[in-house]
Amino acid sequence: MTGLSVASQTALKAMIQAAPDDALVKLSRALRTTPGERVDWIRRMIMGEQAVRRMRQAAFGPLVPMFRARMDGVRALTFPAPVLGGLWRQVCARQPALVDQAREMTVGGGEIDAGLLDQFCVSAAAVLRDDPASVWSPLKPDVAEELAACFDLAPLARAALPMLGRWTGPPDPDSEASLRLMMRDAERIGENAAVRMTEILLANIAEAPLILRVIGRVANTDGEERFLAESELADFGERLFERLEVAAEALDEFHPARAAPGDAEAVAARLTAAAEILRQMELSLALTPDGDWGARFQALKMRMSRGLDNVMGLAPRMVDKALPLERVRIVGAMSRMAPVMDAAAHGPLMDQARSALVVLHGARSASAVLGCGGQRAQICDTLQKRLMPYGDELIEGLNAGDVKDEAHVAVLAELCAGFLELCDAAPAAKALRRRLAATGATAAPSPRVA
């Protein structure tokens, strides 16, 4: 007896089936030492669900990534997540003998035969065509047919995936020939099969720009854009141009003075991803200035270069406002610039400076691709020469006991260290923090680079 009502058991079972994999792992760990009949029942349910998912992953493996959106935002063929679980349950109900055979093969840590796994995919395609509503009631017939067509290709995709690393790697005549042969085999299975197979390969590639190598080698055109841009696989290139447009627009709209929390990090991440797309396009495609893709490539690259140059140029001025200097008299008419010891440690000026520096720091790889790596290096050098003496004077003031509010000055020193990290001076930031700790003054931690 579980001590749970039928309704409670049904609700818990539904929750466990819908939970992400990492949530099940965490829940299983949390309940590992908890006693009680109810907890024992829940533990068994979790273990059963995890076993189901392992077998489902093995059977539907090539298509499983298509049931979740890509992390990089690149447009791709995907299907509703609830379909995956519902489809597997229907396949198991139709093919109990296959399930039993698969379980027998896994006894003692064995692997399930690929031919048996392919039979699960054949059955899945049949279920989707015969009764899509039984899989998931909102599933539309046209979506079900598209997924069924992908399952038709699953056996071929399963055999192909071990070669994916070579197909997206350096040029290799043997692997390129195997890729084209695989695509010809796919085209014999159904209409638009080459496009669907490319969708499956894309789903299994973490770095979307690498798909350019696949489509270039499939077309056997040495990446010449005039052929690729007019082929049935051209949309895969268009999807990458869409991400470049998004990154360029985000950079155009960004200004540290208007940035909300997280905006700078988002812009830097988009810029890094866009730079990798540009790099792969240069490596994988034979772009020409008068071609559609070539002209768009150059226009977007120049647009992002100008935008990044503008944002990076703001950083020194923003830092000057956030950590200001003032002129102090030394002797007679002699004076020098020194830190304003009571400058605000929080507020818009500090947020704006950090936003500008986050983009500067995040653009390290992108700036090289966009042709403004030298400008970035100069700005970082300027900032380091500005911040290092500033931090030194704060520490000297703390050591000499010449400051009115030690805690506040310690906060400024920590913020200065954080800024140094963001302009590629991590060793100097570490040294400043070590010296700050030696003064005995305490400060709240500043934002650091992850």
191 and 287 inside one domain: no
Measured in Å, how far apart are the chain's first and last C-alpha atoms? 49
Does 1 map to a domain?
A: no
Instruction: Specify whether 159 is located in the same domain as 299.
Output: no
Whether residue 313 sits in one domain with residue 195 = no
Residue 13 confidence (pLDDT): 76
Domain boundary among 206, 238, 263: 206
The reply to whether 156 falls in a domain is yes
- Asked if 430 and 296 sit in the same domain, the reply is yes
Maximum alpha-carbon separation in the chain? 98
The count of domains in the chain is 2
Give the whole-angstrom CA distance, residue 113 versus residue 314.
60
> Are residues 288 and 202 part of one domain?
no
Question: What tokens appear for 244 in the block?
Answer: 């470049």
Whether 320 and 189 share a structural domain: no
CA 401 to chain centre: 48
The answer to the question of residue 448 being in a domain is no
For residues 167 and 285, membership in a common domain is answered with no
Do 283 and 199 fall into the same domain?
no
Domain boundary among 159, 189, 206: 206
* Short-list 161, 94, 100, CA closest to 121: 94
3-state SS record for 162-230: HHHHHHCCCCCHHHHHHHHHHHHHHHCCCCCHHHHHHHHHHHCCCCHHHHHHHHHHHHCCCCEHHHHCC
Residue 373 lies in a domain: yes
- Structural domain including 89 reads 6-206
Along the 450 residues of the chain, how does pLDDT read in single tens digits?
466 778 877 787 778 777 777 777 777 777 777 787 777 777 777 776 767 788 899 999 999 999 999 999 999 999 999 999 999 999 999 999 999 898 888 776 778 899 999 999 999 999 999 999 999 999 999 999 999 999 999 999 999 999 999 999 998 899 999 999 999 999 999 999 999 999 999 999 999 999 999 988 887 766 567 777 778 888 999 999 999 999 999 999 999 999 999 999 999 999 999 999 999 999 888 888 888 899 999 999 999 999 999 999 999 999 999 999 998 877 777 878 889 999 999 999 999 999 999 999 999 999 999 999 999 999 999 999 999 999 999 999 999 888 889 999 999 999 999 999 999 999 999 999 999 999 988 765 544 443
d(CA 35, CA 41): 11
Domain assignment of residue 231, yes or no: no
For 362-401, what is each residue's pLDDT tens digit? 999 999 999 999 999 999 999 999 999 999 999 999 998 8
pLDDT digits (tens, 9 = 90+) for 319-375: 999 999 998 877 777 878 889 999 999 999 999 999 999 999 999 999 999 999 999
Indicate the angle between helix axes 406-422 and 426-439, nearest 10 degrees. 170
CB 306 within 8 A of CB 254: no
Pair 26, 126 in one domain: yes
Cα–Cα distance for residue pair 358/365, rounded to 1 Å: 13
Tell me if 232 is assigned to some domain.
Answer: no
Question: How many other CB atoms are found less than 10 A from the CB of residue 18?
Answer: 12
Burial of 142: CB neighbours in 10 Å, binned 0-12, 13-18, 19+: exposed
Look at residues 154, 185, 206 and tell me which one is the last residue of a structural domain: 206
Look up the pTM and report it.
0.84
Same domain membership, residue 294 and residue 152: no
Q: Is residue 238 part of a domain?
A: no
Q: Which residues pair with 327 in a beta bridge?
A: 337
Q: Which of 357, 318, 446 is nearest to 394 (CA)?
A: 446
CA distance 377 to 246: 26
Backbone angles phi, psi at 20, to 5 degrees: -65, 160
Q: Are residues 23 and 131 in the same domain?
A: yes
Residue found by looking up tokens 């703390």 in the block: 398
Classify residue 348: in a domain, yes or no. yes
Shared domain for 61 and 202, answered yes or no, is yes
The pLDDT value given to residue 121 = 97
Q: What is the pLDDT of residue 447?
A: 45
